[in-house]
Amino acid sequence: MRRPFLILGLVLALGLVALWLTGEFAVVQTWLLDQQRNVQNRLAGAVRALRGGQPGALLALLAVCFGYGVLHAAGPGHGKLLIGGYGVAQRVRLAPLAGIALLASLAQAAVAIALVGAGVLALGWTRERLVDVSEQVMAPVGTAAIALVGLWLMVRGIRAMRAAGQGAGHDHHHDHVHDDSCGHAHGPTLSDMDNVTSWRDAAFLIGGIALRPCTGALFLLILCFGLGIGAAGVAGTFAMGLGTACVTVAVAALAVWAREGAFASLPGAGLGSRMAAAIPVVQVLAGGGIAAIAGLLLTQTL
């Protein structure tokens, strides 16, 4: 009963990737662009209403900001690459991964606030200067962190393969994917997943996402501080972060669902040992994909 459900997740994820690769998403992209234009204009209207002291304006601003976050996260982006890739590569449970996705989005909002606070209020930077620092300095650092996560996943996968090749079948390294099963004869099972990723992993995942502030949030903050409604700008930035989190949490869910679907679709006999063989391969492939994309983005920005 559980297996068909898991395999459905794999089919769904592969279907989405195939649609994107074949360009069938063009209609969605056009629609998305129109919506992004609309929400941007509405954001200006909401700021004007708030500045004009209209009743209910703050709630309206928060709602628009939330929508802005959802719409800007809906396109391809670094957060989805990292959370999705990690979710496929590492046999992590959904709850911690979703928690990391949520924390990362809120941290991204906090970084934007700190950057505007330090840059504009303390150092007197112009808007252009601030956006430059964000895109030329902070974004590449974040992308490098993402590339490191990819490389690290590859190293883990290769280590696990080597360990398996030496006939042990188990890797006793502390961060190995199936710690729980070490010492058991049957290897990992479908229900056997990592409960908590290491703090180091979580820090890199959150850092990789948060260090690249959303330009829209910077725009909103600079505008609101300039107009003397800074607190509303800070609240709006966190509302944007929650909107973004909706999308990355959904990506986390799809990644976990698809990954478990892939394992569930392995032939039934000897499932444990087949999974033990498949997990490092998936890890190397997904890690390599993350590292390659992040590396390419890095060469384009530097």
Partner 1 sequence: MIRHVALTAGLWIGLASGALAHPHIFIDTGVEVIFDDQARVTGLRITWAYDDLFSLMLVEDRGLDPDFDGVLTPEETTAIKGFDMHWEPGYAGDTYALLGEVPLVLSGPAGWTTGYADGRLTSTHLRQFADPVVLAGQPLVVQVYDPSFYTAYRIAQQTLLTGADGCTAQAFEPDREAADAILQAAIDEQAGSTDIEGEFPAIGAAYSEEVRVTCAARS
Binding positions for partner 1, rule: CB under 8 A: 21, 23, 26, 29-30, 33, 36-37, 40-41, 43-45, 47-48, 51-52, 72, 75-77, 126-127, 215-216, 219, 222-223, 226-227, 292-293, 296-297, 300
Closer Cβ to partner 1, 94 or 141, answer by number: 141
Using CB atoms within 10 Å of the CB of residue 242, give its burial: 0 to 12 exposed, 13 to 18 middle, 19+ buried: middle
- Smallest separation, CB 284 to partner 1 (Å): 15
- Smallest separation, CB 62 to partner 1 (Å): 16
- State how far the Cα of 131 lies from the Cα of 119, in Å rounded to an integer: 10
- Smallest separation, CB 300 to partner 1 (Å): 6
- Smallest separation, CB 72 to partner 1 (Å): 5
- Smallest separation, CB 184 to partner 1 (Å): 37
Strand runs (DSSP E) across 33-73, as ranges? Answer: none
Identity at 97, one-letter amino acid code: L
Dig out the tokens for 142 from the structure. Answer: 């974040």
Query: Around Cβ 204, how many Cβ atoms within 10 Å?
Result: 19
3-state secondary structure of 229: coil
Closer Cβ to partner 1, 135 or 179, answer by number: 135
- Smallest separation, CB 160 to partner 1 (Å): 23
**How many residues can be counted in the chain?**
302
- State how far the Cα of 81 lies from the Cα of 89, in Å rounded to an integer: 12
Helix (H) / strand (E) containing 295:
helix 271-301
The closest of 146, 155, 153, 150 to 297, measured between CA atoms, is 146
Query: In sequence order, what are the residues at sequence separation of 6 or more whose Cβ sits closer than 8 angstroms to the Cβ of residue 145?
Result: 204, 207, 208, 211
Q: Are the C-beta atoms of residues 256 and 83 closer than 8 Å to each other? A: no
3-state secondary structure of 194: strand
- Smallest separation, CB 78 to partner 1 (Å): 10
